[in-house]
Structure 1
Amino acid sequence: MKHITALSLAALMASTAAPALAQSKGDFTLALGLGWVEPSGGSNTLAGRINVDGNLRPTVNFEYFIADNLGIELLASWPFQHDINLAGAGKVAETRHLPPTLSLQYHFTNSSPITPFVGAGINYTYFFDDKGKGPLAGVPVSLDDSWGLALHAGVDYAIGAKSALRADIRYIDIETDVKVADIPIGTVKIDPWIFNVAYVIRF
């Protein structure tokens, strides 16, 4: 009788535990969230040392599973806007950019509601609406588009059979050649970390 009671209790606990977010070949997931882009450092240029401020924007991720637990993901977002600061002069320019990133990702298999994943891919960053500000107000400023590698890791916490909450971090290699008044002043390494939280739904 004790064995039957123990088996019944185990079965009840399994049935009430939070589900794992299984990822099977042919599945498609959509993640809606918020992402903070935090540039990792500054760069020395002919004009002096340049730093780029961080920014928060809505993000959207699409992922299609080409095999069980293995997906191809596209990161998209609302355009990020950044202030560009020159040491000793403060804000001297601002820019906007779109950072679409395509990654191959592996989601680990487990029976827990927490599913970690890792990924790597390629990023294309499109800079636009560059403007001189402060001491450079009215002076043409331009940032070249960038190609670079991207690394990604995170966890999904299943809250339903087809839904989860996600927390993830991404590192992107972004370097851009900068011109002021059409004069090249050097390469600025932005190399941001992107911190993201999202709601994920599987179709």
Structure 2
Amino acid sequence: MAFHRLAVVAVAAGMLAAVFSQTTFAQSADLAPATGNWMVRLRAVNLTAANKSDAVPALAIPADAIQINNKVLPELDISYFFTPHLAAELILTYPQQHDVTVMQSALGGPTKIGNFRHLPPILTMQYHFTPESRFKPYVGAGINYTRISNVNLQVPGVGPLDLSKNSFGPALQAGFDYRLTERLYFNVDLKKTWISADVKMAGQTISKVKVDPWLLGIGLGYRF
């Protein structure tokens, strides 16, 4: 539900920015060129996991029954503009904790089995379509690296579980900046990343979890 609420806000913000961009189009030519090659953005991001997983017949766990919680998290990104159209963006946050729930198993209904932390930096290359205007849409593609730590998973009556510690996957991105002042920008950003981890018991892989989240963010940027 949080994702849908944030999506509605993002769409409304995009429509509002588009209206503003049309009403200020005549003024855009009078804008001073964007200042500086660096840009820093701070966003509130809603993470919505795909929650796909293999079945574990030995524990009567069906496919897609291993799930992590969705959450809102802070995100900091640092961008460098090589040209007015091309930029590289490094997306950062601090290690995020997620709860793990098995929705169905030999134990019955939903069972929380613990939590873990993950650190998911993303590096993308972006193309900005209209750098000379107030409304600046962009697309990007790159790579995600996820480091998993502090795994604390325990299946009652069975024993501890572990997760593979490293995951590499592609990342896609689309969004826009709306120029508020010479240096300050309003930003909406949507990313899709592919993240997976092996679930292990006694050193043996028993399932693969595909988190593959959507990340919808709203925030402010400062260019210098």
Q: Which of residues 23, 28, 39 is equivalent to 1:29?
A: 39
Q: Which of residues 148, 166, 171 is equivalent to 1:145?
A: 166
Say if 1:23 and 1:69, in contact at 8 Å, map to a contact too.
no
Inter-partner Cα distance in structure 2 for 1:176 and 1:75: 21
Inter-partner Cα distance in structure 2 for 1:34 and 1:137: 38
1:172 is matched with which residue?
A: 193
TM-score, normalised with respect to structure 1? 0.83
> Structure 1 residues 36 and 180 mapped into 2: Cα distance closer, same or farther (>3 Å)?
farther
> Structure 1 residues 130 and 162 mapped into 2: Cα distance closer, same or farther (>3 Å)?
same
| RMSD, matched Cα | 2.7
SS in 1 for 2:180: strand
| Runs of 4+ that moved beyond 6 A | 17-21
SS in 1 for 2:130: coil
Which runs of 5 or more structure 2 residues have no equivalent in the other structure?
Answer: 1-23, 105-109
2:54 is matched with which residue?
A: 44
Greater strand content: 1
1:6 is matched with which residue?
A: none
SS in 2 for 1:139: strand
Q: Which of residues 104, 116, 119 is equivalent to 1:95?
A: 116
Q: Which of residues 76, 79, 82 is equivalent to 1:63?
A: 79
2:183 is matched with which residue?
A: 162
Which runs of 5 or more structure 1 residues have no equivalent in the other structure?
Answer: 1-11
Inter-partner Cα distance in structure 2 for 1:137 and 1:57: 33
Number of equivalenced pairs: 190
Inter-partner Cα distance in structure 2 for 1:165 and 1:96: 30
TM-score, normalised with respect to structure 2? 0.75
Please show how residues 70-149 of structure 1 align to structure 2 within 5 Å.
70-88=86-104, 89-109=110-130, 112-133=133-154, 135=156, 139-149=160-170
Inter-partner Cα distance in structure 2 for 1:22 and 1:120: 26
Greater helix content: 2
Partner deviation per Cα, 1:34-82 (whole Å, 9 max, x = no partner) = 1121112321232422112112211100010112210011000122221
How many percent identity over aligned positions? 33
SS in 2 for 1:160: coil
